[in-house]
Amino acid sequence: MAHLLLTHGYFMHEDPKELQIRKPYVPLGILYICSHLRTKGFDVEVFDTTFSSMENLSQRLQWGVPSVLGVYANLMTRKKVVRILQIAKEVGWKTVVGGPEPGAYVSEYLSAGADVVVIGEGERTMEELLPALQDGSDSALLRVNGIAFKDSSGRVRQTAERMQLSNLDAQPWPARDAVDIGRYMRTWRDAHGRSSLSFITARGCPYKCQWCSHQVFGMTHRRRKPAAVVDEVEWILAEYQPDMMWIADDVFTIHHGWLRAYAGEMRRRCLNVPFECISRADRLNDEALDLLSELGCYRLWIGSESGSQRILDAMQRGVTAGQVQSAIAKCRQRGIQSGMFLMWGYEGEEIEDIEATIEHVRRSNPDVFLTTVSYPIKGTPYYNRVSQSLVEIRPWRDSSDRELVITNRRSPEFYERADRLLRDEVALDRLTAEKSREREAEELRTRIKILRDRLYADSHEARA
């Protein structure tokens, strides 16, 4: 059976921003594919790019007999993945790409050097695809669901949709032994004093937030059994002894009955480990927050996006700003740190919506908040809505969806200013709480006034 080499395009050392953050997590997607294929008898190797370089990967690809290379791609890694595909093709590899981005850009990836694009979950598709690639005929490939490829006449063919795995508990755990977990943990410890490892308890998210990509798991939500997840957690703790964990689910607290059972099983086995996860304000009641606190949740990320209900509704976010504020207050009562994700520049956002977001963050007063200027991910309803106004400033291969310019939106400088205003307003609230820092507060008030005047003046100017 052909040898499969799996890789991704995330090179921490080639990205100054990631090098500064230094919070790497193992690439769970390819590790799930690896363990699945190994149990089916395939010969699978993982080249983990996280601590490596393009040069080392290139050397690996040039060494030995080329076979099949499988690459994970998301919107941030596109440029690197395209380069990897080019190198691999030059030295004779068959190339397959999968992950959240390629299904939305089938013809682009096929033109960039992928022989096959895998759409959706990769485990079963790869199991069938590897023998089909060895066969090499169009008819063999056409029998594999969930792929796209160029047939021998050069026409792009897409096969029927791949059914999703119905029983996640029947799947082996991700092949963590295929990467250097010690290096991940050391990187965390050296930079942050504590190490962290990730796992998932479910796949897919049923909510309809218009900007979010459902490319891989569709609108399904499939959960593993609580005891099966606890088995994995118990094993990770015994095997690697991480100081904390990251539950990499889209929304960890969707199902309160599940959470109750999971907490019960963790309690029964006397397991407790600090962790962080993501949730939604409407899935956080007192009981869920008590359970999170008991389980060791030290930081809860809450998707918030905007403080303007009009914008939240336009996003079909399904939460109110009030729910977010109340969830954050409840976290504080329980000693759980809160993190907020916010987005500037969503369609229809006006200066009063920006003010509402600033007011919202001030009222919520989270421990951390992260902001981005909204960007349309291909395949999402948001992308479709703004597609007529999109301008690619660089060729697809050298760019990402984050770099798409939406005409009739305000300039990047405008959003930078809005962001600074938000941060200054929050900083001012914190300064005014300390009486001795009145002079600094006064200076900040002056800066805020200048910033706000400038923002209002800019908001009346013509858009990009």
CB of 7 to ligand B12, least distance (A): 8
Q: How far is the CB of 224 from ligand B12 (least distance, A)?
A: 12
Among 68, 84, 87, 212, binds ligand B12 (CB under 6 A): 212
For 461, phi then psi, to 5°, come to -75, 165
Neighbours of 109 (CB within 10 A): 28
The closest alpha carbon to 367, from 333, 326, 332, 342, belongs to 332
Q: Which stretch binds ligand B12 (CB under 6 A): 213-221, 227-235, 292-300, 381-389?
A: 213-221
d(CA 363, CA 360): 5
β-strand partners of 157: 149
Q: According to CB under 6 A, which one of 29, 66, 226, 376 is a site residue for ligand B12?
A: 29
Tell how far CA 310 is from the center of its chain.
26
Per-residue string for binding with ligand B12, 249-288, x by CB under 6 A?
-x--------------------------------------
Q: Which residue blocks in 320-411 are alpha helix, DSSP H?
A: 321-333, 351-364, 381-386
148, 158 Cβ separation under 8 angstroms: yes
Q: Which is nearer to ligand B12, 218 or 264 (CB)?
A: 218
Dihedral angle sign, alpha carbons of residues 355, 359, 361, 362: positive
213 lies in the binding site for ligand B12 (CB under 6 A): yes
Q: What mask, x for binding ligand B12 by CB under 6 A, covers residues 62 to 101? A: --------xxx-xxxx------------------xxxxxx
Of the pair 74, 308, the CB lying nearest ligand B12 is at 74
Residue nearest to ligand B12 as judged by C-beta position? 98
What values do phi and psi take at 369, rounded to 5?
-140, 140
Position among 14, 28, 228, 293 found at the interface with ligand B12 (CB under 6 A): 28
Q: State yes or no: residue 51 binds ligand B12 (CB under 6 A).
A: no
Instruction: Work out whether 377 is an interface residue with ligand B12 (CB under 6 A).
Output: yes
Q: Which of 34, 35, 61, 121 binds ligand B12 (CB under 6 A)?
A: 121
Count of residues in the chain = 464
**Cα-Cα-Cα-Cα dihedral sign, residues 426, 428, 431, 432:** negative
- Residue 412 neighbours by CB distance under 10 Å: 13
**Crossing angle for the helix pair 256-268 and 226-240, to the nearest 10 degrees:** 50
Window of 133-141, 211-219, 234-242, 388-396 that interacts with ligand B12 by CB under 6 A: 211-219
Nearest CB to ligand B12, comparing residues 32 and 369: 32
Binding site for ligand B12 (CB under 6 A): 10, 18, 25, 27-30, 32-33, 70-72, 74-77, 96-101, 118, 121-123, 126, 198, 200, 212-213, 215-216, 248, 250, 372, 377
